[in-house]
Amino acid sequence: MPNAQTLTSRQRFLAACRRQPVDSTPAWVMRQAGRYLPEYRAVRGSHDFLTMVRDPKLAAEVTLQPIRRFDMDAAVIFSDILVPCAAMGQAVSFAEGEGPSLAPHVRSKVDVDRLRDFDPKQATGFLGDAIRIVRKELGDAKAIIGFCGAPWTTASYMIEGGSSKNFEHSKRMLHAEPELFDRLCARLVDNLVPYLAMQVEAGADVVQIFDSWGGALDARTYRAALLPHVKRLVAGAKRLGVPVILYVNGCAQLLEVLADAEPDVLGLDWRVDPVDAIARVGARCAFQGNLDPCVLFATPEIVVREVERTLAAFAPQNGHIFNLGSGILPGTPVESMDALFKVIRGRRPRSKSAGAVGAAPKADVPDLLGQAERERLRQQITGTDAGSHFPAAMVDSILEEINAIRAKRLERHAFRVGQRVRVKEGPFVGTIGHVATLDDAKGTLHVTLVLSGHGHEFEFDWWQIESA
């Protein structure tokens, strides 16, 4: 790996996209905000999927859940590639266990002409609002990924009216009515570029184009019928000033065609041999991928082995982002994701990794404790039964939380319940959360510290801030 200064997660992710030197391999997981997480299921139990997509606060919350738990380098905004289809006039619904349904089908010239162009700020402004909430929460520490569907995948959903195994109607239009298919794809790109622009304006650092069904096409057909539209979409996104990731599931036969679309990063599914991809198009773009998501159903020891193997396979490549070769599956054990990101975090330099335990306080948070108070609190924390097992770096993190809480109290800022700080060093690996309650009558802030990890969870009241 080329030498590089110590980077924040956001810097690391963007540098890898641009094939610049990095201090370690950045990582995130497609569908990382999803049903494998108990905290996601808790939210999903009270809200249907589309409500979560369209409610900025809910979308932001589930976007942040995996970041709090695993400390990925990037947050992918919680949304769906079919949001533009609804904005263009189709009714989109999700039946539990059955996948999406779109109506009416788009299968004729009348159907294509009936689609409406949309203003993304008006029709899909909820997505921009969710991105802004996530950016406010993460600051500049983490990258934010916006996304859309690729022309083929989006068009096939519109034509088929949902998922498909063989894409009979879509391929019939592509081959029998190429001008109509071309018109549909052109309409989609016309709307998707402003849709991505809205996400970038709201705070997205990178955009990914998902061609989930691209592997259903042979290279000749993809080059003739889809490449012009994909290339125009990629070019439009790159003009926004952000890196573009193009992910195509089942892309082994398409690598050269996809590289001709000129993305900054090419996402590889798990079927692609990294050695083959590097030899064929590695000089033209960075790569993302490509661990088989089913590996995560094995033991944590096997997960660690396969993550290390994947990282080693891509080591010769100039520019690599670790990811799965497809979206994480709903039944994936959380312990496997813990094992995966323990490997990723273990490769990061300790001194400045964003969100890392022991990192220096943010420049915009004044030190209101002082050395003497810090030492007194350190002794108080480590004097408890639980605190006696904390590594020094973890205690440093708690002290910075105390300082940040005191700064907020003095500035009359509102307190958030359940704010998280990752704990990544020493024998204890888990999360720190605090619940702050303010007794205005007495001018006292009570902070309850909640720690969980390795199957253990405990809490104790451990500090009070007296008002001046």
Residue 441 scores a pLDDT above 80: no
What per-residue string of b and e applies to 353-383 under the rule 16 or more CB within 10 Å gives b? Answer: bbbbbbbeeeeeeeeebeeeebeebbeebee
Q: What is the pTM of this model?
A: 0.76
From the list 10, 12, 19, 31, the catalytic residue is 31
CA dist 374 and 460 (Å) reads: 19
Q: Which of 202, 205, 93, 82 is nearest to 149 (CA)?
A: 82
pLDDT 10s digits, 16-43: 999 999 999 999 999 999 999 999 999 9
pLDDT 10s digits, 175-211: 999 999 999 999 999 999 999 999 999 999 999 999 9
pLDDT at 232: 98
What residue spans of 34-167 are helical by DSSP H? Answer: 38-44, 49-54, 56-70, 83-87, 109-114, 120-123, 125-138, 151-160
Mean pLDDT of 274-280: 97
CA dist 349 and 413 (Å) reads: 33
40 is catalytic: no
pLDDT 10s digits, 358-401: 334 444 566 677 777 777 877 777 776 666 666 676 677 777 77
CA angle (341 as vertex; 335, 342 as ends), nearest 5: 85
31 is catalytic: yes
Mean pLDDT of 347-365: 50
In the chain, what is the straight-line distance between the N-terminal and C-terminal CA atoms, in Å?
Answer: 52
From the list 157, 195, 222, 247, the catalytic residue is 157
280 is catalytic: no
CA dist 438 and 98 (Å) reads: 46
Joined tokens for residue 231: 């290339």
35 is catalytic: yes
- Round the average pLDDT of the chain to a whole number and report it: 84
Which residues have C-beta within 8 Å of that of residue 442, sequence separation ≥ 6?
none
pLDDT at 17: 98
Where in the sequence of the chain do the CATH 3.20.20.210 domains occur?
9-346
Joined tokens for residue 72: 């990925």
Judge residue 38's burial from the number of C-beta atoms within 10 Å of its C-beta, 0-12 exposed, 13-18 middle, 19 or more buried.
exposed
CA dist 368 and 135 (Å) reads: 26
pLDDT at 407: 60
107 is catalytic: no
Among the listed ranges 139-143, 173-177, 349-353, 407-411, which one has the minimum average pLDDT value? 407-411
CA dist 336 and 409 (Å) reads: 39
User: How crowded is the C-beta side of 140, counted as CA atoms within 13 Å?
Assistant: 6
Residue 101 scores a pLDDT above 50: yes
| Torsion over CA: 250, 254, 256, 260 (sign) | negative
Residue 427 scores a pLDDT above 50: no
Mean pLDDT of 443-454: 44
pLDDT 10s digits, 283-307: 999 999 999 999 999 999 999 999 9
From the list 23, 71, 80, 269, the catalytic residue is 80
pLDDT 10s digits, 243-273: 999 999 999 999 999 999 999 999 999 999 9
Tell the CATH topology of 9-346: TIM Barrel (3.20.20)
pLDDT at 430: 39
pLDDT 10s digits, 30-89: 999 999 999 999 999 999 999 999 999 999 999 999 999 999 999 999 999 999 999 999
Question: Between the CA of residue 124 and those of 54, 117, 179, 404, 442, what are the distances in Å?
Answer: 8, 12, 29, 35, 46
pLDDT at 353: 37
Residue 104 scores a pLDDT above 90: yes
Cα–chain center distance at 229: 25
Judge residue 72's burial from the number of C-beta atoms within 10 Å of its C-beta, 0-12 exposed, 13-18 middle, 19 or more buried.
buried
Joined tokens for residue 4: 């590089």
The model's confidence at residue 312, banded by pLDDT at 50, 70 and 90, is very high
The helix (run of H) or strand (run of E) holding residue 227 is helix 227-238
pLDDT at 461: 37
Residue 410 scores a pLDDT above 50: no
CA dist 226 and 415 (Å) reads: 50
Mean pLDDT of 216-222: 98
